[in-house]
Amino acid sequence: MDAMASSGIVVDFSERKSSIWAQAQNLAWSRQGLVSEAMQSDLLSEVANLVEHPTPILGSFQEKFLRLPKEVLVTVMRKHQRYFPVEDEATGN
């Protein structure tokens, strides 16, 4: 178990979920954003089951895609790409 921990592998599911959530929130906050609490339900569990070494990464895409309805963007992010949408903390968009 120590060899796994020293390699960054988080065996405990609850610990893995907590780590992913905390890291995702910290990355979002670094850009004055947030990850909606709604993402803690099924998406967080699914992502925690897909990874052994939780390492969230903050990405971006071209602003022109923000012309699409928020629901379309969030659905694609959650269902097809399995990542957490970061919303503007001030506006929720």
Residue 41 has pLDDT above 70, yes or no: yes
What whole-number distance in Å separates Cα of residue 11 and Cα of residue 25?
21
Tell me the pTM: 0.85
Residues across the chain = 93
The 3-state DSSP class for residue 16 equals helix
Q: Residue 73 is encoded by which pair of tokens?
A: 């963007």
| Tens digit of each residue's pLDDT (9 = 90 or more) over 54-82 | 998 998 889 898 899 989 998 998 888 89
Q: What is the reported pLDDT for 72?
A: 92
How do the domains of the chain map onto residue ranges?
Answer: 2-88
| pLDDT confidence tier of residue 24, bands split at 50, 70 and 90 | very high
Per-residue pLDDT, averaged over 30-34, amounts to: 92
Report the pLDDT value the prediction gives residue 30, as an integer from 0 to 100. Answer: 93
